[in-house]
Every structure is written in C-alpha cells, then in structure tokens.
C-alpha cells in the first residue's frame, strides 16, 4: 500500500473515531511513550541516559501535553529534564503535573548545557512562523532537536516553511503521517511514526507516496511470452539537429528504463542513433511506425512544426507525455489537451506550471497541482525537490528526492524518457509519473556521491538503480509483472 499523508482535519477525524481511546487519554499516553522511546534511543546511542540533560520547549494544548508526559518518563529514567513554558496559562495541566511529579524542572530558559531539545511549541493546528519568544528560545540551540508531531513554524497541510521555524533532527508523529512530512521533509529530519491505535481512511483526494518496494513491484520487466512489441514501444519527439542533447537524453532514458522498443522522430535522428543504435529513428512523424505511447516536447521548439506534431499526437487515442517546449505550446492553446480521454501526462517545472495555469504555484503546492489537473482533465507532474503528481480526480502522489542533485540542465529530459517508456508499458499516468520520479531521484543520488553531476551521469545511473530496486525487493528472478 502507498504511504498516506493526512491533512490536519483528517487527523482530527481519525482521532475522534477512536472514541474512548481519545477521551480517556490513551492516545496521549501512547504518543508520550513513543516520544520518550525515541529520545531514550538517541541518548543511549550517544553515551547512555542517566544524568543526561534534555530541554523541553512547551506550547499550549495537547502537543505540549505529549511532550510533558514524555518528559516525566525520561525523568523517571534518570534524565535531567527542564521545560520552558511559552504559554503558562494554557499549558496542559495533566502533563505538567506528571512532569513536576517525576522531578522535572520548570525554567525561564533552556539550560546552558543540554544533550537534546524537544520541540512541542505547536501541533497540527498551528500556522505561521514561530512567535518571537519561541524563536528566541531556539536561536541558541545547537544540539539535535526532536519535534513532537511537526517542527514548529511549518504549516501542517501545505508544508510551508516559514522564516522562523524549527529544523528537526527527528520528528515523532502519531498514527499517520501528516502532509508536511512529505512536503517539508528536509526540515523534518528522520520521521518516526508511532502506532497509537488510530486508523485513517483512504480518500480519493489524498496525498500519497509509493514505497521503493511498490516501485520495484510495478516496474515492467519481460515475461516468458514477451517480445519487444508487447513490452511497450515508446515514441520520442525531442531536440533538433542543431541542439540534439534533449533528443539523446530522452531517448537514452527510454532505452534504459524498459526492455521494449524506442522510436525517435526528429531532425536529431542521426545523433540519437550514433549514441543508441537500438533506437529506430526517423525525421518525420508520418514515418514513425506504431507506438504504444508518445513522449513529446523537450527541445522540439515552439513554432508551427511543433504545434502540428502536438495536434497530430494528441488527436490520437494513445497515452501522451508532454514536457518542456511542448508545454509552452499547450499554454498558448490549452484545448489541445483539455477534455482528452486518452491518458495524458504533463510534466512542468514551476515556471512552465505558471504558464499553463496563469498563476504561480504558490504556497499550497498540492492544491495548485490538483486545480490544474482538474481544469485540464489530465495528470500533472509538478517537478521539484518534492515532486507531486496529481490526477484529475484529485489524488496526489509525491516523491521526496532526498537531494537537489537533479537540478541540472537536461535532467528533465531524462525524466521524460523514463516516464514515457512506462506509459508505453501500460502504467497509468500517475503511477508512471510517480515511479519515474522515484527512480530519477535515486539515480541522481547514486550518480552524485555528494558532488555535482550533469544529466549524462544521471542517465548512466538509471539502469543500475532499477536493478538495485528490483533485487532489494524480490525482483531478481524476473517474475515481477506490471500492475
């Protein structure tokens, strides 16, 4: 099953659905025990628990209560716990009593020397940046921070990271992941999910991500009865004779991603074949031959010829991916794709997205990508460190790249080739986009090794990354099938 991320309202609904577990404080006790386990694990891993010092920064309400109960557990284990109360009049009374009863101290500031700090300033109901008093407390913190539910100063639903916010080494959350755990993953650090007995429900307009095991299981590989045609034939339209780079990268990525067949159309045909002789390359669309999907746009230009090609390809009933220059053409005439019934995947970066939608992406990226997908009636993949893929029905798949090494010229052309080949193999556009984004990100990490890369290095890492994924998740014998 994909990993699910919930809005604040969905979290509250799931909590209330537990009935007595919420009412009698069981959920809070389980959450506190989870926070304490994580903190004890961190302290144990760096020299033991007894006599170590932990600071707690406590806000109002239940988030602070989770931390205070956790602090009571830590204090009973011999940890010296000091809490700064940012809202003394609205501090959780039960948690505060337990904390004090276990020997925890209330202080006006964090001690000069602590081994770790617990951030419990705001929970999922908080919005906006840290208030000045809270920001001042965290300003001098140099030790690891464990955030309760979310790093304070980050919006739970949109993942907006405000100027005054916490950067956590670890975030401990409860029952289900929140949207920000994907959308603001770099600020959350390692995310630990604690089971507290809460059962969220799947919704068609939810936010999800595929696990590596799911990507491996869905990746198309040849079966005993397959040939080059049954595995998917993708047609690539990209680049030009003068600028062949996009053509070479997109075609090479398609060749690397699946075992079917790659056809190329364009004036860069000779350059493509010189790099990848297995590609069947022609100059004109009329000579392309049969394909199962098209990937169109990178470096193809935005003039009349590009418009004619797009009209022809989109008028058919095959899956089509449109990127780069192709998106510029569509932005001038959205009716080229609006209402198209065949699978259609658009893959804009933020600037192309603004041209397509008429407005910048804005702070709420999931809402923006959902709106464009619904308006055009197509699947939209919004590129970025956190890539989002939205269906017209509102379901969104996200992928945290884990780095920004793929922010290099030509990397988008590689993504086009990977995703286009998956469309040709029969994957639904949102799954093709999500799987392609994951492999693309892992390839960038593998190619980089901590140093800047170009798109050619990223492309060279695509095939080994797919092999590693499949080997790690049970696919080495070739029995995994598309689905």
Write a three-state SS string for 390-417. Answer: ECCCCCEEEEECCCCCCCCCCHHHHHHH
Structural tokens at position 339? 């209402």
The pLDDT value given to residue 482: 34
Give CA separation, 391 vs 260, 419, 425, 431, in Å.
26, 15, 19, 10
Residue 384 labelled as part of a binding site? yes
DSSP lists the bridge partners of residue 234 as 262, 293
Domain ranges of the chain: 3-202, 212-472
The upper half-sphere exposure of residue 138, i.e. CA atoms within 13 Å in the direction of its Cβ, equals 28
Residue 425 labelled as part of a binding site? no
The pLDDT value given to residue 478: 40
Nearest-CA neighbor of 126 among 84, 85, 171, 180? Answer: 180
Instruction: Quote the pTM value.
Output: 0.94
Residue 299 labelled as part of a binding site? yes
CATH class held by domain 3-202: alpha beta
d(CA 149, CA 167): 13
* Burial degree of 103 (CB within 10 A; 0-12, 13-18, 19+): middle
Q: Walk along the chain (483 residues) and give the pLDDT tens digit of each residue.
A: 889 999 999 999 999 899 988 889 999 999 999 999 999 999 998 888 889 999 999 999 899 999 999 999 999 999 999 999 999 999 999 999 999 999 999 999 999 999 999 999 999 988 899 999 999 999 989 999 999 999 999 999 999 999 999 999 999 999 999 999 999 999 999 999 999 998 877 676 789 999 999 999 999 999 898 888 889 999 999 999 999 999 999 999 999 999 899 999 999 999 999 999 999 999 999 999 999 999 999 999 999 999 999 999 999 999 999 999 999 999 999 999 998 999 999 999 999 999 999 999 999 999 999 999 999 999 999 999 999 999 999 999 999 999 999 999 999 999 999 999 999 999 999 999 999 999 999 999 999 988 999 999 999 999 999 999 999 997 654 433 333
The pLDDT value given to residue 475: 64
d(CA 170, CA 192): 7
Three-state SS at 167 = coil
The pLDDT value given to residue 261: 96
212-472: what fold?
3.40.1190
The pLDDT value given to residue 481: 35
Structural tokens at position 169? 């080494």
Site of tokens 């009863």: 101
Residue 374 labelled as part of a binding site? no
Nearest-CA neighbor of 4 among 124, 147, 181? Answer: 181
Three-state SS at 89 = helix
The pLDDT value given to residue 477: 46
Residue 92 labelled as part of a binding site? no
Residue 78 labelled as part of a binding site? no
Nearest-CA neighbor of 120 among 112, 4, 104? Answer: 104
Residue 246 labelled as part of a binding site? yes
Residue 90 labelled as part of a binding site? no
The pLDDT value given to residue 444: 97
Residue 386 labelled as part of a binding site? yes
């Amino acid at each position: 099953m994909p990993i699910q991320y919930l809005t604040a309202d969905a979290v509250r609904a799931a909590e209330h659905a537990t009935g007595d577990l919420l009412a009698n404080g069981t959920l809070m006790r389980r959450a506190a025990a989870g926070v304490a386990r994580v903190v004890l694990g961190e302290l144990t891993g760096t020299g033991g628990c007894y006599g170590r010092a932990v600071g707690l920064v406590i806000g109002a309400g239940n988030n602070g209560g989770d931390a205070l109960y956790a602090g009571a557990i830590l204090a009973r284990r011999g940890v010296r716990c000091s809490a700064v109360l940012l809202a003394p009049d609205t501090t959780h009374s039960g948690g505060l009593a337990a904390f004090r009863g276990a020997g925890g101290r209330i202080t006006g500031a964090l001690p000069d020397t602590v081994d770790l700090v617990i951030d419990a300033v705001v929970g999922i109901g908080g919005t906006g940046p840290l208030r000045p008093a809270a920001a001042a407390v965290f300003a001098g913190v140099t030790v690891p921070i464990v955030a309760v539910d979310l790093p304070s100063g980050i919006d739970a639903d949109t993942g907006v990271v405000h100027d005054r916010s916490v950067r956590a080494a670890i975030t401990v959350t409860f029952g289900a992941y929140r949207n920000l755990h994907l959308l603001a993953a770099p600020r959350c650090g390692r995310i630990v999910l604690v089971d507290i007995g809460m059962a969220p429900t799947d919704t068609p307009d939810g936010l999800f991500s595929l696990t590596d095991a799911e990507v491996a299981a869905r990746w198309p590989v040849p079966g005993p009865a397959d040939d080059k045609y049954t595995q998917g034939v993708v047609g690539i339209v990209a680049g030009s004779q003068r600028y062949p780079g996009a053509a070479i990268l997109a075609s090479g990525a398609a060749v690397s991603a699946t075992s079917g067949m790659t056809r190329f159309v364009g004036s860069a045909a000779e350059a493509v074949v010189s790099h990848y002789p297995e590609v069947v390359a022609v100059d004109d669309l009329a000579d392309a031959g049969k394909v199962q999907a098209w990937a169109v746009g990178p470096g193809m230009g935005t003039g009349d010829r590009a418009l004619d090609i797009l009209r022809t390809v989109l008028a058919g009933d095959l899956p089509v991916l449109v990127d780069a220059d192709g998106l510029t053409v569509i932005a001038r005439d959205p009716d080229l794709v609006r209402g198209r019934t065949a699978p259609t995947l658009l893959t804009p970066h933020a600037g192309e997205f603004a041209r397509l939608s008429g407005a910048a992406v804005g702070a709420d990226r999931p809402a923006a990508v959902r709106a464009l997908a619904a308006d055009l009636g197509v699947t939209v993949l919004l590129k970025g460190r956190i890539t989002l893929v939205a269906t017209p029905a509102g379901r969104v798949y996200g992928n945290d790249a884990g780095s920004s090494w793929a922010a290099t010229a030509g990397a988008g052309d590689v993504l086009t080739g990977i995703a286009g080949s998956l469309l040709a193999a029969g994957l639904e556009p949102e799954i093709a986009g999500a799987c392609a984004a994951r492999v693309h990100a892992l390839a960038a990490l593998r190619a980089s090794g901590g140093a800047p890369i170009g798109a050619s290095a990223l492309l060279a890492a695509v095939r080994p990354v797919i092999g590693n994924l499949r080997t790690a998740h049970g696919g080495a014998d070739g029995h995994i099938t598309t689905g």
